[in-house]
Structure 1
Amino acid sequence: MIQSIPVYDICSLSDVRQDDLLVSRFAPYLEAHKNLFFPHRHSFYHLVLFTHGAGTHTIDFESFDVNPGQIYFMIPGQVHSWHFDGFTDGYIINFSANFIQSFVLQPGYLDGFSFFSGNLNDAVVNLPNESFATAKQLFEAILTEITQPAPQGSDMVRLLMLQLFIGINGLNATPQQVGKLSYNQTLIKNFQVLIEQHYADIKLPKDYAALLYITPNHLNAVCKDLLGMPAGEVIRNRTLLEAKRLLTNPKLSITDIAFKLNFSDNSYFTKFFKKSAGMNPEDFRKKILNS
């Protein structure tokens, strides 16, 4: 079977597995895993706080400049690569959903943080000086708990991580993001969850509307109101993203990718991709691989 882009789990990045968690200073982690410069996916949540360095990191084909004081968050499945200029350091935490979920016992708890939504505008945060200092202190405390294990040390790590998440989530939160979600916000989240599950086999807004027990017009109106685009475009954007992810693997032919995404033939897939991305799939592949 042709393999897709490499997917790493926590075990493949560490000789020791501890409660679905890996915590490290970034420079030694980078030295030990030089293959991570190339595009890859994670099966876990991933965050990095930069304290030194320059260059770029790329998440789902959007590039960000590396700056000290910057923290970025990734969710499972996103495509990621790095290109650093000179010495780069900071802190890294990789953790499974279960590591937090088993502690808070609240379904979908991590989804409540804006930076774990998959929206890249929220995933990369440049911290103010005071918040940067606080974040470094929390990372150091987490490292201490890892390197000098104490009774209930794993629970202390979880508490420190939650303190970090809650503090950063509050930096850019709007009044609408604080407290209980509205009905329409919950509807959009459920729509996005369904797209994530079915983007390859369900293409039409009316079918998602049926799964949500609402009319297509209602779904479209809510998407335009909260996301600024119709429901059909939300679905197409997710399909396009997956097509781009698959195109980073040169072992997959255009036919393979069209089949994986349930397009009837190559020409239909190519037409869809060119209309959405502004270039045909082969040109996109060449651009990514050459870069």
Structure 2
Amino acid sequence: MRKKSKSIPLNTMAQRFGAGIAVGKATIKDLHTFEEAEQSHRDDYHLFFLQEKGSTPIEIDFQKYKIKPSSVIYIHPNQIHRVGEFQNITLSFLAINNESLAPEYHKLLGDIAPVKPLLLKKETFALISEAVSLCIKLSERKHEKLYHSLLKDSCNTLVALIASQYLSQSRAVESLSRFEIIAKSFKASLEQNFVTIKKPAAYASMLNISIPYLNECVRNTTGQSVSHHIQQRVVLEAKRLLYHSTKTVKEIADELGYDDYPYFSRLFAKVTKMSPLTFRSKNLD
């Protein structure tokens, strides 16, 4: 049975690992030995899994995936996730908080999220596995004078290796059209401001362009309007809170920046074709 709390459960780096970086390899017999991952939660750190043996079912923001051998996945701190039932898996992992992450990679990871599990070529998987092994070995050499620098730099190199695999699946920035660059900037701004800024005009102003031009860029690139993207982002957060917490609809509306919660309920129903309470009851275990 899915446990629910007043707020979405948050695993912190300090509670889980007691340090800003944790890297390791584990062979896990079944879900019971990894029980805390069964409950839906957020982390306050960036998380990377490299699947070596077996397969791991995982649910991320209402999307279900299966991480297969020779695959990697990145989970952003904003994303809610939980692991499904598995048996006899071997995986490597890296957990790293914002303070330990190189600033240029922090923005990069925000730009590529959300992502799906990525199946790697044999040689690429071998290279990343070697990088993980090096990071693990360095994490054990606490007597080194430059221990923290060695661990931080090696793990940031690992982050870059993984991120580069995701970037190779997308087009280079220099090849993007003006429309695509503006749409990308809008989405990044939306992710940072969707709770406080709901009007397309405000986003157009932030990007120093007109509202019609912003809409033209976003619609041309994504097929949907600026308002559609704003509503979808708000509703995703509402779904997270309805499913994973016990907050009332009014409390959720307040948290998402709506003083008029009946208006928020109508917006949710318009986007999902059901009321917030219907969504919650329909998704109860």
TM-score when scaled to structure 1? 0.83
135-144 or 273-282, which deviates more: 273-282
Using the TM superposition, give the Cα deviation of residue 223 of structure 1 relative to its aligned residue in structure 2, in angstroms. 0.7
- Specify the alignment match of 1:48 in structure 2: 49
The one of 119, 134, 154 aligned to 1:141 = 134
More off after superposition, 228-237 vs 165-174: 165-174
150-159 vs 73-82, greater mean Cα deviation: 150-159
The answer to whether 1:172 aligns with 2:172 is no
Mapped pair 1:10 → 2:5:
no
Range with greater deviation from structure 2 (90-99 or 188-197): 188-197
CA contact (8 A) 1:21 1:93 kept: yes
Is 1:61 paired with 2:62? yes
Q: Kindly indicate whether residue 193 of structure 2 is the aligned counterpart of residue 193 of structure 1.
A: no
* 1-structure distance, mates of 2:12, 2:33: 15
Cα separation, 2, equivalents of 1:47 and 1:219: 34
Which residue, out of 81, 96, 111, partners 1:117? 111
Deviation string, structure 1 residues 210-264 (Cα, Å, up to 9, x no partner)? 2222111111011112233211111111101110111123420112112222334
Structure 1 residues 156 and 268 mapped into 2: Cα distance closer, same or farther (>3 Å)?
closer
CA distance in structure 2 between the aligned counterparts of 1:166 and 1:256, rounded to whole angstroms? 36
| Counterpart mapping for 1:1-291 below 5 A | 3-14=6-17, 16-17=18-19, 20-27=20-27, 34-101=35-102, 108-112=104-108, 116-117=110-111, 119-120=113-114, 122-149=115-142, 150=144, 151=146, 152-158=149-155, 160-165=157-162, 167-174=164-171, 177=172, 179=174, 183-290=178-285
How far does the alpha carbon of each residue in 1:80-122 deviate from its partner, in whole angstroms, 9 at most, with x for none?
1110321222011111223232xxxxx5544335xx43643x3
Counterpart CA distance in 1 for 2:185 and 2:170 is: 21
Q: Which amino acid aligns with 1:126?
A: L
Please state whether the residue corresponding to 1:84 is helix, strand or coil. Answer: coil
Per-residue CA deviation, residues 138-193 of structure 1 (Å, 9 max, x unaligned), is 2112111112344442254145314523541354233xx25586654443343223
Letter aligned with residue 231 of structure 1: V
Query: In structure 2, how many angstroms separate the alpha carbons of the residues matched to 1:189 and 1:260?
Result: 26
Stretch deviating more after TM superposition (36-45 or 199-208): 199-208
Unaligned ranges ≥5, structure 2:
none
- Give 3-state SS (helix, strand or coil) of 1:262's partner: coil
- For 2:245 and 2:191, the matched residues in 1 are separated by 24
Aligned residues: 276
| Letter of the 1:92 counterpart | F
Q: Which has the higher contact order (CA 8 A, sep 6+)?
A: 2
Q: Partners in 2 of 1:164 and 1:224 — Cα distance?
A: 33
Residue 46 of structure 1 aligns to a residue whose secondary structure is: strand
**Residues 145 and 156 of structure 1 are in contact (CA less than 8 Å); yes or no, is this contact kept in structure 2?**
no
Q: Give, in whole Å, the separation in 2 of the partners of 1:118 and 1:276.
A: 25
Q: Secondary structure at the match of 1:35?
A: helix
Letter of the structure 2 residue corresponding to residue 74 of structure 1: I
Q: CA contact under 8 A between 1:56 and 1:82: conserved in structure 2?
A: yes
Q: 2:258, 2:264 within 8 Å by CA — same for their partners in 1?
A: yes
Query: 1:147 & 1:202 partners in 2: Cα distance?
Result: 46
Q: Distance in 1 between matches of 2:121 and 2:129?
A: 12
Q: Distance in 2 between matches of 1:250 and 1:160?
A: 36
Query: What letter is aligned with 1:112?
Result: L
Are the equivalent residues in 1 in contact too, given 2:45–2:77 (CA < 8 A)?
A: yes
- Percent of aligned pairs with the same amino acid: 23
Offset at residue 34 of structure 1 (A): 2.1
Q: Is the CA contact 2:65–2:116 (under 8 Å) kept in the aligned structure 1?
A: no
Distance 1:128 1:36 in 2: 28
> Alignment RMSD, CA only?
2.7
1:10-52 deviations in Å (ceiling 9; x for gaps):
11112x31xx111122446x77752221111111111111112
Contact 1:273 1:279 in 2 (8 A): yes
